Amino acid sequence: MRLIWTICSVLLLGSCAYMPVKVPFTPDTTPVPPDYSKPEYWSSLPDRLDSADHIPSKSPVELIDGQATAAVDVFYIYPTQFFSRKQWNASLDDKKVNTSVDERAVTNQASVFNGSCKVYIPRYRQATYNAYFSLSDSSAYEAFALAYQDIRDAFEYYLEHYNHGRPIIIAGHSQGTTHAKWLLRDYFDGKALQDQLVGAYLLGMPVHTYDFTHLSPCDSAGQSGCYVSWRSYLEGTEQPEKFMAEDRSLIVVHNPVTFSRTDGIALPRPGDGGLGRDGETIYTEICTAQIHEDIVWVSRPDIPGKLLIPHNLHVADYNLYWLNIRKNVAAQISHYQSLHH
């Protein structure tokens, strides 16, 4: 039943009308910037106990936290957990936001990487959810720019103090993917650091074939040096015209079970297992996945309350295919190591 709450929480986002931020963006009203030399400005670091260490206790397969011996790092950027109309960017002293980040985004999403990676997650002054509906307002762009500047600062601190030349996975969801795309463009795409890139997980936001010059989408499971992307919707869902790109063929979409981009006409494939919102329960083969145009069609998850599941499964992009992602991360790392040793 807890998985249903993860999925149905998207109703909050899907049904709320846009509520404009009441104040203009000004540097004088922005929250205090982070100091990434201080551990409190990181949601997760591999040498301490935190939400990224979590292992589901009810799983059909053995799961371990392998961070202590992992040879690869993941730099994960969490999705929006801030919904203010009074402030463009979240304060890093906001306990409610920080708790939501740790208990929802990190436990449900970032924990998928701890079997194979050391997990690094910076806190950042994320833009409010309402900024996505204010793109005609220059304040929205300034809010996203401020958030991304924190991500840049965190990543540069990570490179200087934590990375030590180790291979890297970049991962994000929703707003986190917006920033992850920019990070890949600025630090990896056609640059020396691209050689350290094991892969990237860019979920919950459109990623276009033209977003990068040198980085390419993955073609199959376990392939390294590439990125994957998908957005999850209940099977049969057609997106409203206002959300469609002029050319939807330019949007990259992978099947999260096969990690292929070419199975649009294939039969839906069942996933290995999805993670419940409690972070404890893995539900085996709860749904299938099939590419439909620029999105993934998800069969109605076979769980109690399934008739209440909404069409937009955005918040469950990681949860629904948690075991598949975890297995693919390990396979990517193995492939990367075979090419670099």
Q: How confident is the model at residue 20 (pLDDT cuts 50, 70, 90)?
A: confident
Residue 241: predicted pLDDT: 62
Residue 137 Cα to chain centre, angstroms: 26
Mean pLDDT (whole number) for 156-162:
98
- For 162-185, what is each residue's pLDDT tens digit? 999 999 999 999 999 999 999 999
Mean pLDDT (whole number) for 66-70:
97
Q: How many of the other CB atoms lie within 10 Å of CB of 189?
A: 17
**Could you tell me the residue range of the domain that residue 82 belongs to?**
2-340
**pLDDT at residue 198 greater than cutoff 70:** yes
**pLDDT at residue 53 greater than cutoff 70:** yes
Residue 237: predicted pLDDT: 92
Which residue has 């069409």 as its token pair? 311
193 against 248, higher pLDDT? 193
DSSP state letters, 71-130: SEEEEEE-------SS-SB--TT-HHHHHHIIIIIIHHTGGGGTTTEEEEEE---PBPGG
39 against 271, higher pLDDT? 39
pTM: 0.93
The strand order across the sheet containing 117-122 reads 42-44, 117-122, 72-77, 168-173, 197-203, 226-228
Residue 245: predicted pLDDT: 55
Q: Six-digit token pair at 269?
A: 């494939």
Please give the tally of structural domains in the chain: 1
- For 85-143, what is each residue's pLDDT tens digit? 889 999 999 999 999 999 999 999 999 999 999 999 999 999 999 998 887 789 999 99
